[in-house]
Copies of this chain bind each other. A is one copy, B any other.
């Protein structure tokens, strides 16, 4: 029944990488908490680098440095 939300910058995450994130996060719930994978939900949000800030800066700017 867990719900996992993964937020990453939108920088070319492939469908296979998304599947790996879903499989890995679901397995983590099974391994650590013995949760039922059938009702474990994983949602991945890809965020534009203009919209993600860290240390006062946009990731867009950080990538150019």
Interface of A toward B, CB cutoff 8 Å: 1-9, 13, 15, 17-29, 31-33, 35, 37-47, 50-60
Query: How far is it, in angstroms, between the C-alpha of A25 and the C-alpha of B4 when the chains are bound?
Result: 10
With contacts A41-B52, A42-B52, A55-B38 taken as known, whether A33 is within 8 angstroms of B17 at the C-beta atoms is yes
Q: Which residues of chain B have C-beta atoms less than 8 A from A9's C-beta?
A: 1
Would you give the shortest CB distance from A14 to chain B, in whole angstroms?
9
Choice from B4, B19, B21, B46 contacting A5 with Cβ under 8 Å: B4
Tell me whether A54 and B28 are in contact (CB under 8 A).
no
Would you give the shortest CB distance from A30 to chain B, in whole angstroms?
9
Tell me whether A1 and B32 are in contact (CB under 8 A).
no
